[in-house]
Amino acid sequence: MREEIVHKLEVLADSAKYDVSCASSGVERHGVGKIGSASLGGICHAWSSDGRCISLLKVLHTNRCIFDCAYCINRRSNDIPRASFTSEELAELTMEFYRRNYIEGLFLSSAIENDPQETMEKIVRTLRLLRKTYGFAGYIHAKLIPGADPILVRQAGLLADRVSINLELPSQAGLAALAPQKKPALLLAPMQQVHREISGYLEDTRHFRHTPAFAPGGQSTQMIVGAIADTDYQLLQASSKLYRSFGMKRVYYSAYIPMNADSRLPALTVPPPRQREHRLYQADWLMRFYEFEADEILDRSQPFFDLEFDPKIDWAFRHMDLFPIEVNRASLHELLRVPGIGPTSAKRIVRHRRLAPLSYESLAKTGVVMKRARYFLTCGGRFCGDVSMYPENIKNKLRGQDQQYQQLSLF
């Protein structure tokens, strides 16, 4: 590989590593030699819709940016090494990595060089080269550039498997403070367009056998946690709206990592708020798979997550009047509210009890996590817990479990 391309790859893969909206960043191992260290080459991992882990080349088209977002390493005012790929270079590089079996797909993002239109044109040109000239059929996740022409957004959607545009901050005030050049309307318009195009494509597939696929992997977005005084409640409300209004496939959360000295940003003296990010993913999961509404998980009187207990257990503690529920009579919706019962085990319970009532012993075989669920259930009228149903008693028991199951070191 030419030295110039290797240099560009190093710079542009490094600049892309803070974007979390393709599920995982590169794996980096310090001090164990360089064999297998994928992050330097910009390789990260994501999960396909059928659950397979796939390797992606995660790279920016350019890190030269005309914008100056306070939280971003690539912002105009930072003095960092800069580089740009041409479409031909990037398409060729992707194919070379693919042929060598390093990657199965591409995650392509970009800063905004000169103007949004020109940057989006470059991205579309790269995608077209890959799909049409090289016949690349692997997975492609492409970023949309705010302010680009809707025609280019459509072309990107017809060439990529998934498209995304990062909202970054959940409130208009947050955007105005940290990324004043990013206008909310410019971020939301392409999301709306993609939602419309995907709905149109799905409708067409019902009537026509051959219809061009538009972003069959859907659209996603990302929000930063802790870069400004937005509460978890605001973040969750924003996610809920994004799922409802734009049919998002995923909303990703990225704990703020301090990179720039900027008076608009929080001066963190402790590590970034990873626990908040983790809680947001758990709450997001509750909204997508457990029939929870954002308002039920947090509200204005409790705008932040409990960092000790996960959002589902925390919700249960605030609604102890609804428990214990009788496992042989509860609806699917009620079962999903019980800590320790997931969608699969809830469906198994409903199926199983059509044949015979569940006993305490048979309940464990449905996949229910009994060490948690037992404090919120009765089975055939018998309470399953070993302490009375006061939140403090249950909390003490659950705390004990966490200590009992600490992860052991392999070395």
Query: Among the candidate windows 23-31, 67-75, 199-207, 266-274, which touches ligand SF4 by CB under 6 A?
Result: 67-75
Tokens of 231: 């509460």
* Shortest distance, position 112 Cβ to ligand SF4, whole Å: 5
Q: To the nearest whole angstrom, how small is the minimum distance from the Cβ of residue 71 to ligand SF4?
A: 7
Indicate whether 191 belongs to the interface with ligand SF4 (CB under 6 A): no
The reply on whether position 22 binds ligand SF4 by CB under 6 A is: no
Structure tokens, 241:
């709206």
One of 57, 91, 112, 191 touching ligand SF4 (CB under 6 A): 112
CB of 156 to ligand SF4, least distance (A): 17
Q: Tell me if 64 contacts ligand SF4 by CB under 6 A.
A: no
Residue (8 or 75) nearer to ligand SF4, CB: 75
Q: Is 294 in the site for ligand SF4 (CB under 6 A)?
A: no
Question: Of the candidates 22, 43, 46, 65, which one interacts with ligand SF4 according to CB under 6 A?
Answer: 65
Q: Is 10 left (phi over 0), alpha (psi -120 to 50) or beta?
A: alpha
Q: Which long-range contacts (CB under 8 A, 24 or more apart) does 264-269 make?
A: 264/70, 264/177, 264/178, 264/228, 265/70, 265/71, 265/178, 265/227, 265/228, 266/226, 266/227, 266/228, 268/226
Cβ neighbours of residue 281 closer than 8 Å, sequence gap 6 or more: 253
Q: Does 120 bind ligand SF4 (CB under 6 A)?
A: no
Binding residue for ligand SF4, selected from 18, 67, 134, 360, defined by CB under 6 A: 67
CB of 159 to ligand SF4, least distance (A): 21
Q: Does position 75 bind ligand SF4 by CB under 6 A?
A: yes
- C-alpha to C-alpha distance for 195 and 150, rounded to whole angstroms: 13
Q: Quick one: 67 or 201, whose CB is closer to ligand SF4?
A: 67
**Segment near ligand SF4 (CB under 6 A), from 71-79, 169-177, 188-196, 226-234?**
71-79
Rounded to 5°, the CA angle 400-276-296 comes to 85
8 A C-beta contact, residue 117 and residue 152 = yes
Decide: is 122 part of the binding site for ligand SF4 (CB under 6 A).
no
Nearest approach, Cβ of 68 to ligand SF4 (angstroms)? 6
Residue 367 CB, nearest approach to ligand SF4 (Å):
42
Burial environment of residue 408 by CB neighbours within 10 A (0 to 12, 13 to 18, 19 or more): exposed
Q: Which stretch binds ligand SF4 (CB under 6 A): 68-76, 136-144, 155-163, 307-315?
A: 68-76
The contacts of residue 2 (CB under 8 Å, 6+ apart) are none
How many residues are listed for the chain in this entry?
Answer: 411
With a CB cutoff of 8 Å and minimum separation 6, the contacts of 177 are 70, 228, 264
Binding site for ligand SF4 (CB under 6 A): 65, 67, 69, 72, 74-75, 111-112, 179
